[in-house]
Structure 1
Amino acid sequence: MSNDPPVKRRRDAAQTRQDLIDVARHRFAHDGYAATTVRDIADQAGVNVALISRYFASKEGLFEACLTSAVTDVRKNAEDQAAGAEGFAARLAGHLTDPAGDDRLRTGLLLLIRTSGDERVEELRSSFLRMVSEKLLAGAGHPITDEVGVLRAQMLLAAILGLVLLRSTTGMKPLNSASADELQGPIADLVAALLNPRV
């Protein structure tokens, strides 16, 4: 039997930080900001709760990191707008309907929908929603200084968020059971109508 002390496994700080964001995104999106505690998040991630303060300073800081992560995921999808409404619609429809796939986009969109009851967090959420709208607009090749365009992008975002919310919380048919192929055409029509309107 060896008398050597047990070898401590080095913690990967970047992975731990990402694990905390992943758990927090899901908890904030499904349980809400107020109902989610930092201890819940740390326990589910399998880390000491003090690491949340180390990496994010506070629960609000962790929520902001989750919003940043969600916007990054939405932005990746919005960039498909450069290839046209069909490419964007195909990717979005795939994310919304693949139960075995990565639900990061769905969870991120749900996170953007949930109100927190905290004024500062609501300001953050509002600014991030504006940023997502601008990304959708820029992805369609329009300047983000165009307020009419921003309004159209916000209407598109509202429709996408409504689609996510209804599919996630209701059994409404045929919306809830529609396949990616069935969703793609209507989403493309919606994108084209709002961001590439006929003049």
Structure 2
Amino acid sequence: MNDACGRLVRMTAAGPSDGTRRARPKGRDAHRAKDSAATRNDILRAAARRFAEHGFAHVTLQDIAQDAGVTPALVNRYFVSKRALFELVAQAHVDEAQPLTDVGEFASDLMAYWQDVDRRTPALALVRSIDLDGGKLLRHELERRVRGHWRQFLAGDPEAPAKIRLLESLTMGLGLFGIGALLGEEESLSSETLIAMERRLALMIEACLSD
């Protein structure tokens, strides 16, 4: 994640009046840094879950703070603003693109992504916040996560624009409506249904890529 949007407070210890410095107990700074990182991660996780469920406009810093077990002031101290926190959530969980060598494996990975409650939070948060800046951030993340990779893969293909649109529709539609993440319907899917969906998803991807 991009830590530039975060803001940590530097803690310093005052020395005694004679100008000498007190010796710090061993491990105190390391323990403090560990606690700080854990708190920051707790806030990010709570924010991701909230934004994914309700969208940017319907989440407050108080909501996030309550879920993370901290105060709203501490959330601001680490992340400056709700918008900065949202942007960090939106940019999270970006895996490095791997060459497409097996469509079945790609379909399996895509199914796994949408069934992972934590990994899919950026996608859900962005979709539920599509009115934020006219969807500019959503379009940016779609380009970075989906369109850009397929554009490179299909470079030189005269039907690349059509294929990319279809592949993007499959990618997003699978999770939002196929898995049911947008409407909270994923628990109603049996293992047999998920296996059948994965098999047919691979067939649809192959059809999109074929000439």
Q: Compute the TM-score of the two structures, normalised by the length of structure 2.
A: 0.68
- The structure with the largest alpha-carbon Rg is 2
Give the structure with the higher percent helix: 1
Instruction: Determine if the alignment matches structure 1 residue 85 to structure 2 residue 97.
Output: no
Matched, 1:94 2:145: no
Deviations 1:41-97 (A, max 9, x none): 011011222233233221111111001114x1xx35x53x52321111112223445
Deviation of 1:146 after TM superposition, in Å, equals 7.7
- 1:133 maps to 2:146: yes
Contact preservation (8 Å) 2:46, 2:67: yes
The residue number in structure 1 matching 2:124 is: 110
The CA distance in 2 between the partners of 1:137 and 1:52, in whole Å, is 37
Secondary structure of the structure 1 residue equivalent to 2:119: helix
Segments of structure 1 that go 5 or more residues without pairing to the other structure are 1-6
Identity within the alignment, %: 28
1:63 counterpart (77, 80, 86): 86
Moved over 6 A (4+): none
CA distance in 1, matches of 2:43, 2:184: 29
TM-superposed CA distance for 1:107, in Å, is: 2.9
Alignment CA distance shift 1:82-1:171 (3 Å): closer
| 2:176 counterpart residue number | 165
CA RMSD of aligned residues (A): 3.2
Question: Does the residue aligned with 2:66 lie in a helix, a strand or coil?
Answer: helix
Per-residue CA distance 1:137-196 (angstroms, 9 max, x = gap): 16x7344x9896355334322222222222232759xx94453321221221222233x3
For structure 2, the residue ranges without an aligned partner over 5 or more in a row are 1-27
Distance in 1 of aligned mates of 2:120 and 2:127: 11
Once the two structures are superposed, the pairs formed by residues 13-52 of structure 1 within 5 Å of their partners are: 13-52=36-75
TM-score w.r.t. the length of structure 1 is: 0.71
